[in-house]
Structure 1
């Protein structure tokens, strides 16, 4: 009888007291069903985790279509407390669109930042479940910034992990940065609805992109050729791909110049780092991507809002938003406007700002988010 490498790894780690107990999945075939598991690559293994695994599980993508996706699961050191390790569902920031960019394959784009951040949560006594999002590391295309899809993927990752390991509690919070900050906000809005059998407690989002739909509607060939960061140009290309994936009838390619189509093709094959480097070298203008304005699409603002507009009401658990005042990766005034709206309308939100940039806010926020999350778990 042949024994898989995974089985050998599980047996070896179990003899050292590190491997969690694997249990049968409770919902065969449905969202959150575990289809398989495998060891994580070194690049995707969080330093300090006592044990880690890559889960392959069922979830949904655009139009609630079933799909297969993946997640990384990290366990802290020591004996699990009674009831199991509480779960931090990590919603990662932008890594790219290609399968080899997936978090559970290549690890984070911002390695030092993310490992320091997630390592802190491990030391605080939480297990970490990091969903890849549909189309990353699995079949199909990744609908970048499609918040409802990302919320399903995050909830289903928690469902898969908690059904597989006895050492995990069903008590969980979602924590995310940048693209994952938006995913965390969407998850906060829909967590109870999408995962009623789980014990969702609340959310933390940093570097959250808000009201992009209000700005994106003005993108087109008439944009002035002002210098922008290569990261922002990459985000525009990723958003175009997300729109094309979410609304295939839009004919996004028909809005673009030859240059725009070439760059969009490159964006589907390169992770965020290499794509940003190529854009920095070539210095294309955003306006040069377009043959006609994005606003010529019928009901453009409505489409953009349904695709990535952050929910403005309906939050049933506390949410923490942390933001760097020098953040230029997202439109900071719009994020602060969103936070102010939630506060003014009585949503259960706590807002803190920090004198730092997009990356700096992640770890700067821990001074406030750790006690916030600790209180959520009582």
Structure 2
């Protein structure tokens, strides 16, 4: 689940009604703008900027950073349509913010492809990544609001952007994209959210929470101990009433320390040989803990008013295909406008293979009415 300037909920209530922002903290309010230079520039971008803006975390206002790339030339009638890119897992430590280090595939391939297609590109780092507070990992609602408020922030500094937009995400960002699709139309009625494309979305993970305990061995999946540690670290910071520390062994405490200080690649190298069961002193079967996990991670399977695209790799060892198959089946049964593609590759390979199909989907949903 994959240097420039500068969970998870209070059960039910904080998620449904985030604390009111104080003056100057309204969602999308920009507090800093810097030009992106050097390796952070993108071929085909007339302007490139990094923003700091206010968004909404699990319990109220939090800041996020992000970036905006605008195509060259005069905008079309109504302004440039926007693709908000929701990135995959980088880690939860501040130095892991997605826009603070050059990422070759995105800067050289993905963003230029979207710019050539005639879209402005907006990226959110999500709240707590490079900004005060702990990033609430896999808290879908707060990640979605980071994306929505990133679009608001981008339009505040780039008036040539229009109101038509879509969200496109991979892995953690795919989960964020689907939550954005569900929340966005009502959350930002001043914008026209037209569709959401998601590749490798982690889903149905909350169903595993009450089954987890000291008996879980090492699993034949990739990065699982690091992912679990990041999830628990976000819960510990955002919902202290759950007493996450009480579920952890000394090995678990050390795992959380690792993910709070190192990014995903380094954390995975440190934790690859740790079994999830070694991290847990007792089962995670507290109903309050399960309710918190469900509220943050359970991707809605009905109630969508815009089209969705879901792509999945058959050899994905980070987001196993059976979990996505369950999600797709439930979305289909609910009558969601859904386009589904399966690719032969792994987690990242499938995401790259899906790009032409995802761009075609974006063209379809973002076409002028």
TM-score (norm. length: structure 2): 0.89
* Mapped partners of 1:224, 1:155: distance in 2: 39
Quote how far apart the aligned CAs of 1:143 are: 0.4
- Please tell me whether residue 366 in structure 1 is matched to residue 355 in structure 2: yes
**Residue of structure 2 in register with 1:219 after alignment:** 212
**Distance of aligned partners of 1:136 and 1:221 in 2 relative to their CA distance in 1, 3 Å threshold:** same
Pair 1:318 & 2:307 matched: yes
In the alignment, the residues of structure 2 paired with residue 222 and residue 135 of structure 1 have an alpha-carbon distance, to the nearest angstrom, of 32
Would the aligned equivalents of 1:43 and 1:105 in 2 still touch at CA under 8 Å?
A: no
Does the Cα contact within 8 Å between 1:40 and 1:52 map onto a contact in 2?
A: yes
* Aligned residue in 1 for 2:194: 201
Cα distance in 2 for residues equivalent to 1:220 and 1:276? 20
Give 1:362 deviation, angstroms: 1.5
Matches within 5 A, 1:31-180: 31-40=27-36, 42=38, 44-63=40-59, 65-108=60-103, 111-112=104-105, 115-180=108-173
Unaligned runs of 5+ in 2: 6-22
Output the CA distance in 2 between the equivalents of 1:189 and 1:331: 23
Indicate how the Cα distance of structure 1 residues 155 and 91 shifts in structure 2: closer, same or farther if over 3 A, else same. same
Contact preservation (8 Å) 1:95, 1:103: yes
Following superposition of structure 1 onto structure 2, how do residues 168-317 of structure 1 map, counting pairs within 5 Å?
168-226=161-219, 228-229=221-222, 231-280=223-272, 283-295=273-285, 297-317=286-306
Give ranges in structure 1 of 5+ residues lacking alignment.
Answer: 7-26
Partner residue of 1:375?
Answer: 364
Say if 1:146 and 1:246, in contact at 8 Å, map to a contact too.
no
Aligned length: 347
Shift of residue 277, structure 1, vs aligned partner: 2.0
Q: Give the Å deviation of 1:302.
A: 2.3
- Indicate the SS of the match to 1:359: helix
| Residue 40 (structure 1) shift | 3.2
Aligned partner of residue 242 in structure 1, secondary structure: helix
Deviations 1:298-324 (A, max 9, x none): 344322111211011111111111111
Residues in 2 aligned to 1:49 and 1:234: alpha-carbon distance in whole angstroms:
35
1:225 to 1:318, Cα distance in 2 relative to 1, 3 A: closer
Q: Secondary structure at the match of 1:237?
A: helix
Query: Residues 184 and 55 (structure 1 numbering): CA distance in 2 closer, same or farther, change over 3 Å?
Result: same
CA, structure 1 residues 225+376, in 2 after alignment: closer, same or farther (shift >3 Å)?
Answer: closer
Give the deviation of 1:128 after TM superposition: 0.6
| Aligned partners of 1:116 and 1:363 also within 8 Å | no
State the distance in 1 between where 2:106 and 2:158 align: 28
Contact 1:69–1:136 under 8 Å retained in 2: yes
User: Taking structure 1 as reference, are residues 225 and 207 closer, same or farther at Cα in structure 2, changes over 3 Å only?
Assistant: closer
Greater shift in the superposed pair: 362-371 or 247-256: 362-371
Aligned-CA RMSD value: 2.0
Cα distance per residue 1:8-62 (max 9 Å; x no partner): xxxxxxxxxxxxxxxxxxx964111111111336555445433211111111111
Pick closer, same or farther for the CA change 1:142–1:42 going to 2, 3 Å.
farther
Q: Report how far residue 222 of structure 1 moved.
A: 0.8
The structure number with the bigger radius of gyration is 1
TM-score by length of 1: 0.87
**SS of equivalent residue, structure 1 residue 217:** helix
